Amino acid sequence: MQTVSEAQKIEYTTELNVYIEDFFTLQIKKAAEISPYYEALWQEISRLIHAGGKRLRPRLTILAYQALGGNDVKSILPIAVAQEFIHLAMLIHDDIIDRDDVRYGVDNISGSFKKIYKQYVSNEQDRKHYADSAAILAGDLMLSSAYQLIAEANVDAQTILEVQRIFGRGIFEVVGGEFIDTESAFRELGDIRSEAVARYKTASYTFMVPMTVGALLAGASKADQAYIKEFAENIGIAFQLQDDIIGVFGNEAVTGKSTTGDIREGKRTFMIEQFYELASEDQSQTFHEFFGNQNVTANDAENVRSLLVESGAKQKTELAIAAYEKRARAAIENVELAEAAKNMLEEFILIATKRVK
Amino acid sequence: MQTVSEAQKIEYTTELNVYIEDFFTLQIKKAAEISPYYEALWQEISRLIHAGGKRLRPRLTILAYQALGGNDVKSILPIAVAQEFIHLAMLIHDDIIDRDDVRYGVDNISGSFKKIYKQYVSNEQDRKHYADSAAILAGDLMLSSAYQLIAEANVDAQTILEVQRIFGRGIFEVVGGEFIDTESAFRELGDIRSEAVARYKTASYTFMVPMTVGALLAGASKADQAYIKEFAENIGIAFQLQDDIIGVFGNEAVTGKSTTGDIREGKRTFMIEQFYELASEDQSQTFHEFFGNQNVTANDAENVRSLLVESGAKQKTELAIAAYEKRARAAIENVELAEAAKNMLEEFILIATKRVK
């Protein structure tokens, strides 16, 4: 098994981005044959995908592929990129649902078309509606394109269909997680807990699908695929819980994101659920004054943080992360891996669970 | 080549519906494992697809398949059903874009969730937003499911990937047509004509994709596939132009649809474009009083119809339909077909172009 040098990793990032760029160049050209307006829609999607994204999912596919002994990354690039496309599709639709206009620090599809339509539609609500309509269609295009890309990989047709099956299951789960998350904003979902949302909204299509697919493409046995999947699921949930902590306790200068946003929004994460279980009546009462309050000050936010620490909610979340991490390690120990592969996965565990941004 | 008896046709309709029902039973069960709320979303989609739809696209796949000599309809049923799923996906998203709550005479996804959410969300605009959000996700599920179904067909993997490629191109085109159509509601699209919308929004994924796929699955040569595609494209445009005529001149008692709706809405169809080219200044002026006027009376609508006849716009549309029909026949004459197959296609031409509902 080959060791992957840093230089090769960088090369794949470039290749991923070149692949994405070539894809959009071609689609924009094809769209122009239908209409310059359709061309403009594709250009907006291209602009957005080039504006950001850490290409986490494609990298995870390549990581699992290499860790399990795959050595022809070029042949599977389209499948790696497809993971990014489905992610973008979900983000575009998610932003409509969350009524967000910004993504990666730039206008998303809705945000951009709101500006484009300004000269045509004077009524603000109508303008938003048409901009959202463009975004609905843009998401559909990325969803369909993801499947198309998978089919383009230079691997045998039977394997491609198996990849699509895993991929489809991921979409089924992420949409489920997204739907529960959306409904939880306005209705009491009883037994639904943030852990389920973390599992289905994040762990499934961000970790399990890309890594399982990578293992499959490397020719891993069914058993090893299952272990990789279990590894990815546990790391994925740990990643999400860590994300929840960073959302409240992170260093704004490092994360580039507001750390009062989640408090202002009253976002019900795993850590918040722990708080409700652990807090005294007094603590809960103080908490409610600030949590979900649109006008929280920096001081109020600091109070919330203290309560999360004092109640033990933060610690319990950290313990949960450690437990998921342990389960992930246990799963991967069942797989026979070269030393280099073990190091790759170990490095990844640290990035996912110890990160501060 | 076999002649297809009426009994067999009916059997396939039943099989299509059984296949759809089985699919949803399974998905609803899987969704329930994630959450009862997710289960409810799947149940709403199931309710909608069972409420209506003529299964036109699956039938066209089977029609082309049989006409080109295919004789194992069962093996291709999932691919036929996939045509219906992508159609439903587009309808669900189209209804959000058109702000419609009703489809097949029943609540669509948005319409239904508006009612479900009534007890949770008091603000009407928020309620609409969340209901639309559910519909966005429902459309995504159907789009992904369509690709999944194609992969389930009992044909070789290489052919499945080829079907997906044709299918993806259809989605690319229908989204383009839909986007142009959406933008044409509020901006002057210059060179964009209704014919392009008819081609991309209707002909492509309603006729060309299902029939080309059917021919491919029957093992037709590349040349024959191309002829079938040309046939389907021309019939598809003829079908849409006929639809535009029915929308204004149809018999409400027969069509079940209002014949003043298109006039009230000011829908810019091919026939209306012909009117603008042919009409005198006087005719145009009178026309503008009523066309696109939300308050048109039955009398006003009758005036509009008279103007469309007197100007020659209706006749020119009928001539265009005849021309497309002729081109369709010419295309199909290049294909060697059994007598029974010719009769099937001839019957289809009549249904598509001479229909009154």
Task: Average the pLDDT over each of A139-143, A196-200, A228-232, B283-287 and give the range with the smallest value.
Answer: A196-200
Token pair recorded at residue A57 = 């999912």
Interface of A with B in 65-94 (CB under 8 A): 89, 93
Q: DSSP 3-state assignment of B32?
A: helix
Q: Is B117 on the interface with A (CB under 8 A)?
A: yes
The beta-carbon neighbor of A35 closest among B31, B186, B192 is B192
Nearest residue of chain B to residue A142 (CA atoms): B172
Token pair recorded at residue A118 = 């300004």
ipTM: 0.91
Q: Which residue is associated with the tokens 């007197």?
A: B310
The beta-carbon neighbor of B37 closest among A41, A157, A189 is A189
Interface of B with A in 196-215 (CB under 8 A): 196, 200
Q: How far apart are CA A25 and CA A22, in angstroms?
A: 5
Q: Is A22 on the interface with B (CB under 8 A)?
A: no
Nearest residue of chain B to residue A34 (CA atoms): B176
Taking each helix axis from N to C terminus, what angle separates B109-116 and B124-152, rounded to the nearest 10 degrees? 130
pLDDT of residue A5: 47
Binary contact (A93, B141; C-beta < 8 A): no
Which residues have CB under 8 Å from B87's CB, separation 6+? B53, B57, B205, B206
Taking each helix axis from N to C terminus, what angle separates A339-354 and A222-249, rounded to the nearest 10 degrees? 30
Query: SS3 helix, strand, coil % of chain A, rounded to 5?
Result: 80, 0, 20
A8, A59 contact by CB (below 8 A)? no
| Most B-contacting residue of A29, A145, A147, A188 (CB-CB within 10 A), to test interface | A147
Chain A residues near residue B198 by CB distance under 8 angstroms: none
DSSP strand pairing (A106-107 vs B102-103): unpaired
Q: How far apart are CA A285 and CA A282, in angstroms?
A: 5
Q: Which of B207, B201, B204 is nearest to B94 (CA)?
A: B201
Q: Is B154 on the interface with A (CB under 8 A)?
A: no
H or E stretch at B70: none
Binary contact (A134, B182; C-beta < 8 A): yes
Q: DSSP 3-state assignment of B121?
A: coil
Q: How far apart are CA A213 and CA A65, in angstroms?
A: 8
Q: Dmax over Cα atoms in chain A, in whole Å?
A: 65
Chain B residues near residue A134 by CB distance under 8 angstroms: 179, 182
Binary contact (B165, A151; C-beta < 8 A): yes
Q: How far apart are CA A199 and CA A192, in angstroms?
A: 12
Taking each helix axis from N to C terminus, what angle separates A209-217 and A222-249, rounded to the nearest 10 degrees? 150
Q: Is A165 on the interface with B (CB under 8 A)?
A: yes
Q: How far apart are CA B208 and CA B174, in angstroms?
A: 11
Q: Is B170 on the interface with A (CB under 8 A)?
A: no
Distance from CA of A251 to the nearest CA of B (A): 32
Nearest residue of chain A to residue B122 (CA atoms): A186
Q: Is A156 on the interface with B (CB under 8 A)?
A: yes
Which residues have CB under 8 Å from A213's CB, separation 6+? A61, A64, A79, A83, A163, A166, A167
Q: How far apart are CA A231 and CA A328, in angstroms?
A: 4
- One pLDDT digit (tens) per residue for chain B, 357 residues: 344 444 455 568 889 999 999 999 999 999 999 999 999 999 999 999 999 878 989 999 999 999 999 999 999 999 999 999 999 999 999 999 989 998 888 999 999 999 999 999 999 999 999 999 999 999 999 999 999 999 999 999 999 999 999 999 999 999 999 999 888 878 876 656 777 888 888 889 899 999 999 999 999 999 999 999 999 999 999 999 998 899 899 887 777 677 787 888 777 888 998 999 999 999 999 998 888 888 888 899 899 999 999 999 999 999 999 999 999 999 999 999 888 888 888 888 888 887 766
| Most A-contacting residue of B175, B193, B200, B201 (CB-CB within 10 A), to test interface | B175
Binary contact (B183, A37; C-beta < 8 A): yes
Please state the three-class secondary structure of B248-314 as a single string: HHCCHHHHCCCCCHHHHHCCCCHHHHHHHHHCCHHHHHHHHHHCCCCCCCHHHHHHHHHHHHHCCHH
Distance from CA of A38 to the nearest CA of B (A): 6
Residues A25-65 have pLDDT tens digits of 999 999 999 999 999 999 999 999 999 878 989 999 999 99
